Structure 1
Amino acid sequence: MITASVIVLVALLITVVVVGIFIQPRRASTLDFYLAGQRVGVVTNACAICGDYFSAASFLGVAAAVYVSGLDGVWYATGFAAGFIPVLLFVAAPLRRFGEFSIPDFLARRLQSSRVRLTAVTVVQLIILSYLVPQAVGSGITWELLVGSGIAGLSPYATGVLISTTLITALVTLGGMRGTTWTQAVQFLLLLAAFVWLAIAVLGSGFNYPDAVSELSTEPLTNPSLVGGEWQLEAEPNRLNDDQPIYFAEPGGRYGHLGQFALIMTLVMGTAGLPHIMNRYFTSPTGTAARMTTVWVLGMAGLFYALAVLLGTAARSLIQAAAPEEPWLDDLTVDGVLRVPEHALLVLGRLYGGEAGLGFVATGALIAVLSTIAGLLLASAASWGHDVYERHINPRATQGQALWAGRAAVLVVALLSALLALGLRPDTMTALLPSIVATMVTWAFALAGSALTPVFILTIWWRGTTAPGAVAGMITGAIAAITMFATGTVVGGRGIGEMLMTPTILAAPLAALVTIVVSLRTRPPADLDQLWLKLHGTAADRQAERLARLTIDGVSGPQKEQP
C-alpha cells in the first residue's frame, strides 16, 4: 500500500510539471515568462496567490505550532491571514496601476534610480533565500515520513529535499509564470481538499474542538526533548508567569506579552514585502482586478488557517490517545507526543486513511512546498534576469538572452537553497522552536517587513520619498533585522530575546524613520506629478494626462534612471 501511495505521489508531481511546461506559450517573451502576459483573471490569480502563500509553513507549520504550544501557535495563523489586510488597503491597486515586473523594478522606476534597483535586488534575494530553505526542509520531512528510505545512498530527508527542488526547478525554468500560475491554482485546490478531508475525518470520528481544548488544558503541556542523548517529555515554565506551567488553552506557551505582539506584527508587515507574492499583482490586468484578487485571498486564507488550527488541536488530542494501539507511532513519539511537530497532519492522515491517507496528506504537503518554491524561484529569476541582467549587464539583450539569464538564476538559487536545507536536522531543533518550518519562514517575513515594506509603502503613499532615502531605509532595515536575529540566538527566546527573534516591531519603524529623514534632505524625481498620477490617478485622469502630453509635447520615451 505504501508503494501505491508513493507511485500516486510521484505521478501527481510529474503531471504538475508536465502541465506547467505545456501551458507555456510557444513564443515566450519576458512578459510571458515573468508575468504571464498580465492577463490572469481575479479568481485564478487569487487561487495562485494562495498556492504561492500557503507554503510548508502554512500547511505543516501552523498545525505543528498549535500542536506543540497550544494557543501560542494560533498567533501564526492570525498573522499569516491578517497580512493581506495592509496589502488590500495600501498596496495592491497602486502597485498594479504602476505596472512593472518586480519590486526592484517598481522602486527603481518610481524613484528613477538604478542604485535603488540594485539595493532592492540584494534585499529581495536575501528574503527569497531565507524563505526557500524552510520549504526544502518541509519537503525533506514529508518524504522522510512517507517513504522512509533514500535514493542512491542518500538519507530519506536529503532525498526529499533534492527531488522536490529538482522537479519544481524544471517547472519554473521551462514553464515560466504562465505554467506556474495554473499549476499553483490547482495546487491550492488540492491543499484545501486535503485540509477539508482531514477535518471531515476527525469530526466524523466524534472529535469536538471545545471539548478537546478543555481536556488538553487539564494537565500541563509537555513536549519531547533530548536530554543526555535520550528523548523524554519535559514541561517548560509559562512565558507570562515563570511560577506557572504551560496549559494548552492559555497564552505563554512560547511567547510573552511582547513576543506575541512582535510575532503578529512581523507576519502582518512582512506579507507586503514578500517578493513572490507582490510580483503576482503585476500579472493582474488592472488595479481593480488586483484589489478584488486580494479580497478573494482574504476569504480563502480565513478558511484555510481556521482548518489548520482545528487540525493542530485534533492532532494533539487524537494522536496521543491512539499511540498505545498503533505500534508504528513508537518510532515517531515519546509517550504519545510527536518528536517532530510537523508530522502532526501526516500522522492524522495515516490514522484516518491508512497508507493512502498518509499519501494524500503528504501529497498536499509536498505540493505546498513546490508551489511556494516555484513562486520564489520566479521572483528570483525576475530579480536577476530582468533587474540585473537586462538593466545593467546587457541592456541590449535579446528576448532569448534575457530568458536564459532568468533561467540560470533559477538554477543557482535552487541549488543554494537545497544545500542549506541539507545542512539542517529538524528533529534536533524541535526543543528550541515551536515549529522549525514556521519559525524559519517567520525570519523571512521579518526581513521583508523590516527592509522592504516600510520603504515600499512610503514610496507608494508619500510624495517626498527619494532614491537616497529609499536606499538608506532598505539598508537600515536589513542590517537591523539581521543583527537582531543574531543577537536573539545568543540571548535566547525569553523576554527581550522573543522580540529580537521577530524584530520587525523595532526594525521597521527605524527603516521608515531613516527613509523619511534622508528623503527630507534630498530631492524627489523631477517628473513626480506624472509618476504620482500613474500610481493613484483614475483611469479618466490618466487618459486626460496622456492627451495633454500628446498635444503639447508629443509622445515621450521612458525616463532614464539616475545612478
Structure 2
Amino acid sequence: MTVTSAGTLAILLAAVALVTLVMRPRGVSTVDFYLAGQRVGVATNALAICGDYFSAASFLGVAAAVYVSGLDGVWYAVGFAAGFVPVLLFVAAPLRRFGEFSIPDFLGRRLASERVRLVAVGVVQIVILSYLVPQAVGSGITWQLLVGHGLPGLSAYATGVLLSTAVVAALVAFGGMRGTTWTQAIQFLLLLGALVWLAVAVAGSGFHYSGAVADLSAEPLANPVHDEAGWHLQPETNQLDPTEPATFGQPGAAYGPLAQFALILTLVMGTAGLPHVMNRYFTSPTGTAARMTTVWVLGLAGLFYALAVMLGTAARQQIAAAVEGHPWLEELTVDGVLRVPEHALPVLGRIYGGDSGLAVVAAGALVAVMSTIAGLLLAAAASWGHDVYERHINPRATQRQAVWAGRTSTVVAALAAGALAIAMQPEDITPGVPSIVAAMVTWSFAIAGSALTPVFVLAIWWRGTTAAGATAGMVVGGLVSVTMFVVGALPIGPGLGEMLMTPTLVAAPLAGLVTWLVSRSTTPPDDVERQWLVLHGTAADRHAERLARLTIASAEPTQRRRGRGRAARREEERDADR
C-alpha cells in the first residue's frame, strides 16, 4: 500500500468515526437508537437511503456486470433503480404513517399476531445475512487490490473482510441510527464524488459511450476462465441464439429471455422487502416526508447507475488498450481482460489517476461497503433487540437494556457475516453470472421479494389479510425461493439455471396466492378499520377519529377508564403522535 492509499483510508475512517461521535444519540431510548427520534429530514434521509442501498453490488457489481456481459449487465442497473418506483407508489407513505420500528414490528401489529412477528424476524435475518456476506466479500476484494497483504496469519482478502465488519459494527453499536444516518449521507456523497471524478476523467480522455459500445460489439465477447490449461479467454455463449456469438452491445451474453425478465422482477420486488431500506422510512417525521424522500432517491439512483453503466463500458475498452503502457496490469488481466471483474473501477481509477486515483476509487468502494453494512446491522439490531428481546425475552426491559440488546445484535450479525465471507474465497468461486458480488446480493433481493414483499404489500393494501395468511405466505415464499436457489446451482441446462437463481418470478406469485387463499378462510384482526384509517386516511380523517374516541372515552365510567390499561393508552398516544 502506498502512502497515498494509506492516508486516504486513514482520513476516511477518521471522518466516519468523528461524524459518528458527534451525531451519536444523546438519549438511551429505543426510538433514538433505532429511529433517530423520527426527525430525519427529506434530503438527509434520501442521501442516507442511497448510502444504505448503493452497496458493493451497486458500486463494484454493476460496473463489473457491464464489463463482463455488456447489455445483460445493464439489467442490474435497471432493476436496482426501478425498485424504488413501487416503494414510492405503494409503500413509503402508509408505512411511515403506521409508525413502527421494523417490518416484523409492522406486520405483528397490523395483523395482531406475535407468530407473524417471529416468522418475519426469521425471514428478515436470512435476508440481512445474505446481503451482509457479499458486502464483506466486496470489502475483501477491494482490500486485496488496494493493500495486497494482510494481518499476520490472514490473507489480504480475509483482512479486508475482518477490518471492515469490525469497524462498522463498532461504529453502529456506538452511534445508533442518528450517527449512522449522517455517516451514510456523507458516505454516499463521497461515493458519488468518486464516480463523477472517474466519469470526468474518462470523458476527458476522449471516451464516447456509443462509439465504445460499437467498437466492443465488433467482435465476439470473451472472458477469462481458469482450468487445467491455466488462464485463457473463452467466448461467451449467446443465450438467445446459440448459433450466433455473444456480443457486448446485444442481449444474451449472460441471460436468456425469461431469465432477463426474472432478474429485473427480482430486483424491483426485492427492494420493497429489504429490511435496512424500509426501516429508514420509519425515521421520517411524516408520511409525506417519506414519499418525498423516495422521489429524491429515484433521481439520485438514475444518476448513480447511469455513471456505473458508462464506467463499466469504459473499463472494458480502456483497460485492454492500457495493458502495454502499464505493466502492472499484466498480473490482473488475461489478454487485456480482467480476471476479477470487480476490479474494473479501481483499475480504471489507477490508470487515470495513478495511486491517488486508485485510492479514491477503492475508498469509494469501501465507503459503499461500510455504509450498507451499517444499515444492515441496524436492521438486524431492530429485529432482535426490539421484536425478540423486548417483546418476548424480557418484556420488562428498561430502555437502556433494550438498547444494549440491539448493540449486542450488531456484533453477532457482523461476526456471522464476516465468518461466511472469509470462508468464501472469491478465487474459488466460478459464478455463472456476470459479477459474484451483484449475484449474491440478488439472492437476498429474491428472498425479500418472494417472502416479504407480497405479504407486506397485501397487509398495506388489503383489509382481508390475516395473520395465518401472512405466516403461510412468508413460509411458502421463503421455501420456494431457497429451493429454486439449490436447484439452480445444479448443471441443468443453458438459461434455466440463471432463471432459477432469480426465483421471484415463481415464488412471489405463489406467496401472494397462498396469503390470499389462507386469509379468505380465516378472520382478520378486529380493529382493521381503525388500522386502515391510520394507513390510508388523511390527517383530517385521523383527527376526527381521535376526537370520536376521546368523546367515547369521556363518557365511560371512571373505573372503566382506569382499567383500560397501559397498552391501550400507549396506543392512543402513538396515534396522536402521527
TM class by shorter chain equals over 0.9
- Rounded to whole Å, the distance in 2 between the matches of 1:149 and 1:175 is 30
Alignment partner of 2:223: what SS? strand
1:12 deviates by 1.1
Name the stretch that deviates more: 551-560 or 469-478.
551-560
* Match in the other structure for 2:407: 407
Q: Give the number of equivalent residue pairs.
A: 561
1:430 deviates by 4.7
- Rounded to whole Å, the distance in 2 between the matches of 1:331 and 1:235 is 21
* Match in the other structure for 1:128: 128
1:423 deviates by 1.0
Alignment check: 8 A CA contact 1:270 1:450 kept: yes
1:123 deviates by 0.1
Q: Structure 1 pair 41/518, CA: closer, same or farther in 2 (3 Å)?
A: same
In the alignment, is residue 107 of structure 1 matched against residue 102 of structure 2?
no
1:26 deviates by 2.7
Alignment check: 8 A CA contact 1:339 1:427 kept: no
Gaps of 5+ in 1: none
* Match in the other structure for 1:432: 432
* Match in the other structure for 2:189: 189
- Rounded to whole Å, the distance in 2 between the matches of 1:25 and 1:272 is 27
Alignment partner of 1:522: what SS? coil
Alignment check: 8 A CA contact 1:258 1:498 kept: no
Provide, for residues 265-302 of structure 1, a one-character-per-residue CA deviation record: whole Å limited to 9, x for no partner: 00000000000000000000000000000000000000
**Amino acid in structure 1 at the alignment position of 2:522:** T
Alignment check: 8 A CA contact 2:213 2:249 kept: yes
* Match in the other structure for 1:9: 9
In the alignment, is residue 65 of structure 1 matched against residue 65 of structure 2?
yes
- Rounded to whole Å, the distance in 1 between the matches of 2:428 and 2:210 is 32
* Match in the other structure for 2:558: none
- Rounded to whole Å, the distance in 2 between the matches of 1:17 and 1:161 is 19
Alignment partner of 2:288: what SS? helix
Alignment partner of 1:324: what SS? coil
Gaps of 5+ in 2: 555-560, 572-578
- Rounded to whole Å, the distance in 1 between the matches of 2:192 and 2:267 is 22
- Rounded to whole Å, the distance in 2 between the matches of 1:66 and 1:186 is 27
**Amino acid in structure 2 at the alignment position of 1:244:** E
1:92 deviates by 0.1
**Amino acid in structure 1 at the alignment position of 2:297:** V
RMSD of the TM alignment (CA)? 1.3
- Rounded to whole Å, the distance in 2 between the matches of 1:371 and 1:110 is 30
* Match in the other structure for 1:21: 21
- Rounded to whole Å, the distance in 1 between the matches of 2:472 and 2:359 is 49
Alignment partner of 1:402: what SS? helix
1:491 deviates by 3.6
Alignment partner of 2:231: what SS? strand
- Rounded to whole Å, the distance in 1 between the matches of 2:440 and 2:118 is 25
**Amino acid in structure 1 at the alignment position of 2:519:** S
- Rounded to whole Å, the distance in 1 between the matches of 2:436 and 2:493 is 14
Provide, for residues 341-396 of structure 1, a one-character-per-residue CA deviation record: whole Å limited to 9, x for no partner: 00000000000000000000000000000000000000000000000000011000
Alignment check: 8 A CA contact 2:25 2:176 kept: no
* Match in the other structure for 2:462: 462
1:13 deviates by 1.4
**Amino acid in structure 1 at the alignment position of 2:438:** A
In the alignment, is residue 383 of structure 1 matched against residue 383 of structure 2?
yes
* Match in the other structure for 1:500: 500
Alignment check: 8 A CA contact 2:224 2:338 kept: yes
Identity level (%): 70
In the alignment, is residue 476 of structure 1 matched against residue 483 of structure 2?
no
TM-score, with length taken from structure 1 = 0.98
**Amino acid in structure 2 at the alignment position of 1:446:** A
- Rounded to whole Å, the distance in 2 between the matches of 1:309 and 1:114 is 44
- Rounded to whole Å, the distance in 2 between the matches of 1:182 and 1:369 is 16
The correspondence of residues 39-118 of structure 1 with structure 2, limited to 5 A, is 39-118=39-118
1:493 deviates by 6.9
In the alignment, is residue 393 of structure 1 matched against residue 396 of structure 2?
no
* Match in the other structure for 2:358: 358
The correspondence of residues 269-280 of structure 1 with structure 2, limited to 5 A, is 269-280=269-280
1:10 deviates by 2.4
Alignment check: 8 A CA contact 1:349 1:361 kept: yes
Provide, for residues 407-448 of structure 1, a one-character-per-residue CA deviation record: whole Å limited to 9, x for no partner: 111111100000000011223335532101000000000000
- Rounded to whole Å, the distance in 2 between the matches of 1:433 and 1:159 is 26
In the alignment, is residue 213 of structure 1 matched against residue 227 of structure 2?
no
Deviating runs (4+, > 4 A) in structure 1? 554-557
Alignment partner of 1:233: what SS? strand
* Match in the other structure for 1:316: 316
Provide, for residues 184-239 of structure 1, a one-character-per-residue CA deviation record: whole Å limited to 9, x for no partner: 00000001000000000000000111110000000000000012061100002200
Alignment check: 8 A CA contact 1:254 1:434 kept: yes
- Rounded to whole Å, the distance in 1 between the matches of 2:450 and 2:380 is 19
* Match in the other structure for 2:38: 38
- Rounded to whole Å, the distance in 1 between the matches of 2:536 and 2:107 is 15
- Rounded to whole Å, the distance in 1 between the matches of 2:431 and 2:23 is 44
* Match in the other structure for 2:242: 242
Provide, for residues 5-61 of structure 1, a one-character-per-residue CA deviation record: whole Å limited to 9, x for no partner: 222212311320232133113323110100000000000000000000000000000
Alignment partner of 1:325: what SS? coil
* Match in the other structure for 1:419: 419
Alignment check: 8 A CA contact 1:161 1:421 kept: yes
* Match in the other structure for 1:553: 553
1:151 deviates by 1.3
- Rounded to whole Å, the distance in 2 between the matches of 1:436 and 1:45 is 29
Alignment partner of 1:278: what SS? helix
- Rounded to whole Å, the distance in 2 between the matches of 1:430 and 1:506 is 26
Name the stretch that deviates more: 194-203 or 227-236.
227-236
